[in-house]
Amino acid sequence: MATLKAYTVGNNGFVNRPVLDTLGEPAHRRQARVIVVAASKAAAARTSETAGFRVNLHDPDFRVAGGPLAESILAVATAPAVYAMALDARAGDPVVRLDGGAGVRVGALARESSGHVLKLDGEA
């Protein structure tokens, strides 16, 4: 299996109402921070579409993600997937995995000295 990488769509992550509901975001927000985990940029675009989130492969904001949050998501990801969290997320806010247009909570953000990271539900 190829090594997984994290990709971001910048602040252009328009998500549907069920995902916003799972994130606890108001109806008018419509955007979320989205991180796609896949082996390549093309695979990330296909993974996104399968998960119910469309992304333009040639969008300049669709790029490799870095930092502690992306690294913590890569550490727990075992397969390609799409993750979303609130744009203005704070420690304790949920992180969801997109699944056919719905959001399935997988954990919450935690604040560490290096920045926000994903802590899976049930993890200390």
Model-level pTM?
0.89
Rounded CA separation 104/99 (Å) = 7
Enumerate residue ranges in the chain where pLDDT < 50.
124
Alpha carbon distances (Å) from 93 to 25, 55, 107, 110: 10, 24, 9, 8
| pLDDT tens-digit readout, 67-77 | 898 999 999 99
- Residue 53: predicted pLDDT: 84
- Residue 113: predicted pLDDT: 72
Alpha carbon distances (Å) from 39 to 3, 65, 75, 108: 6, 13, 14, 24
| pLDDT tens-digit readout, 42-53 | 999 999 988 888
- Residue 46: predicted pLDDT: 93
- Residue 116: predicted pLDDT: 77
Q: What are the sequence ranges of the domains in the chain?
A: 5-120
- Residue 6: predicted pLDDT: 96
- Residue 59: predicted pLDDT: 87
Q: Which residues, in sequence order, are CB contacts of 22 under 8 Å at separation 6+?
A: 94, 96, 102, 103, 104, 105
- Residue 121: predicted pLDDT: 77
